Structure 1
């Protein structure tokens, strides 16, 4: 597994964690094992994803935020909210 794949998997798991899904944000800290190229590549993907808002923190960590997604109800036609359950795009 490459460094980018390993970092992407870690970030994806953090974003898809049930607590992160409830609060709709997560803070990602760079580990000593995360190379410069890998870190920049993964942050670039996050920054390019329309549904995600990226905030660079003073301590070098990154906070990722997203809004609750609204979809039409299946049977009633009413709007309902759901937590994103699809894997993150990276």
Structure 2
């Protein structure tokens, strides 16, 4: 005789808002390894980015210390930043110790 199947709870999905979506996109662009190396990124406004969301995220970025914003003619924004003190620390490289020959 077969066991009755457990009724699983339906997965509740929450739609993210436009500002959350834009914030995640901008954050991932800023945190991309290439952007971190070159210390600048160009953010393009997409058709799906609403006016209110775009203004809100750009306002938050403009209030962030250490970020230089340039608004371009094509509605994109270029963000530039200086290396932080953490980025400027010299990397310590340890040389492997040579083991004496076993003979």
TM-score (norm 1): 0.79
Runs of 4+ residues deviating >2 angstroms: none
Cα separation, partners in 2 of 1:6 and 1:23, compared to 1, 3 Å: same
Greater helix share, 1 or 2?
A: 1
Question: Aligned pair count?
Answer: 75
Greater strand share, 1 or 2?
A: 1
Structure whose alpha-carbon radius of gyration is higher: 2
TM-score (norm 2): 0.69
Q: Please, which runs of 5 or more residues in structure 2 have no aligned partner?
A: 1-15, 92-103
**Alpha-carbon RMSD:** 1.5
Q: How does 1:41-80 map to 2 (within 5 A)?
A: 41-71=56-86, 80=89
Larger RCO: 1 or 2 (CA < 8 Å, sep 6+): 1
Q: CA deviation at 1:46?
A: 0.3
